[in-house]
Amino acid sequence: MNKAAAKPDPGLRLFTFAAPSRFYALAGWLIPVCWLVFAGFAAVGLYMGFFVAPTDATQGEVYRIIFIHVPVAWMSMLLYLVMAFWAGIGWAFNARMASVLARAIAPTGAMFTFLALWTGAVWGKPTWGTYWVWDARLTTELILLFLYLGYIALVNAIDDPRRADQAGALLAIVGSVNVPIIYFSVKWWNTLHQGASVSLTAAPKMADTMLTAMLLMTVACWAYAFAVVFMRARAMAVERDAHAGWVAAVAQRRIKE
């Protein structure tokens, strides 16, 4: 037999994690790690943001909400793109776990989007004098929330999982056009919303302690998102493969434990 032909392809070995049983095991190992990272980074980030970072010369103490508002706003946009990516992979390659991941991301993305809008309103009252204005950034972020909710409603309204995944993928991919509009809205239109304080192409417009606290909170948000998405995806995988052998094996191990 040809030894070269018998040698497993590394790409195929990686692809095996797309199997629900392998994903279930891998995610089960990663979830506690993600929760530990979230707890540690959130504790340090909040302490630095609310007790160590200096008071802003213009906005005073109210500016400290940025240590929650900015990371969750970043996550709201990024998670939508990740959701659209996995939904598209599931549609194009009929990959069940990719579609499951997209579904699992949607509620978390919607939560981050709601938090971005809510914390923005709390910040806007003392700085703008009102909780809400039909500003380009705020309006497009609100549209993002509707896109998340629309995706969730659509995939749950269709009984056939495969058709639901395809319809949801179409909506997610089309809706992803809104994300760059949100990001560039403060540059394309005259808005009340301030420009980016952190950019990949320019020096940060804030003190080092402020930037450190914001980045720590961003990592905490990432870890939280991974943890809850993996937990939700595992539950969905078990629900879809309820009669599969690997689910029965998992149930037997749980009984023995």
Smallest CA-to-CA distance from 233 within 12, 15, 28 is with: 28
Q: What ranges in 20-95 are assigned the alpha helix state H?
A: 20-47, 66-93
SS3 226: helix
Please give the average per-residue pLDDT across 118-123, as a whole number.
92
Q: Quick count: other Cβ atoms within 10 Å of Cβ 188?
A: 10
Smallest CA-to-CA distance from 67 within 181, 199, 182, 198 is with: 198
Question: Could you report the per-residue pLDDT of 191-204, keeping only the tens digit for each?
Answer: 656 656 655 445 55
Of the listed ranges 5-9, 20-24, 152-156, 227-231, the one predicted with least confidence: 5-9
In this structure, is the dihedral angle defined by the CA atoms of residues 163, 92, 147 and 106, taken in order, positive or negative? positive
To the nearest 5 percent, what fractions of the chain are helix, strand and coil?
80, 0, 20
> What is the value of pTM for the model shown?
0.88
Q: Which residue has the tokens 């793109």?
A: 81
Of the listed ranges 19-23, 128-132, 152-156, 253-257, the one predicted with least confidence: 253-257
Please give the average per-residue pLDDT across 29-37, as a whole number.
97
Domains present along the chain, CATH in parentheses: 31-238 (1.20.120)
Q: At 125, is the pLDDT very low, low, confident or very high (cuts 50, 70, 90)?
A: confident
Please give the average per-residue pLDDT across 74-90, as a whole number.
97
206 against 21, higher pLDDT: 21
Question: Does residue 1 surpass a pLDDT of 50?
Answer: no
What is the average pLDDT value for the chain, to the nearest integer? 87
Q: What is the pLDDT of residue 208?
A: 86
Of the listed ranges 26-35, 82-91, 113-122, 182-191, the one predicted with least confidence: 182-191
Q: At 11, is the pLDDT very low, low, confident or very high (cuts 50, 70, 90)?
A: very low
Q: What is the pLDDT of residue 89?
A: 95
List residues bridging with 60 in a β-sheet: 56
Q: What is the pLDDT of residue 166?
A: 96
Tell me how far apart the alpha carbons of residues 81 and 106 are, in angstroms, rounded to a whole number.
11
Q: At 227, is the pLDDT very low, low, confident or very high (cuts 50, 70, 90)?
A: very high
Q: What is the pLDDT of residue 244?
A: 75
Tokens linked to 154 = 């659509």
Q: At 134, is the pLDDT very low, low, confident or very high (cuts 50, 70, 90)?
A: confident
Question: Could you report the per-residue pLDDT of 168-180, keeping only the tens digit for each?
Answer: 999 999 999 999 9
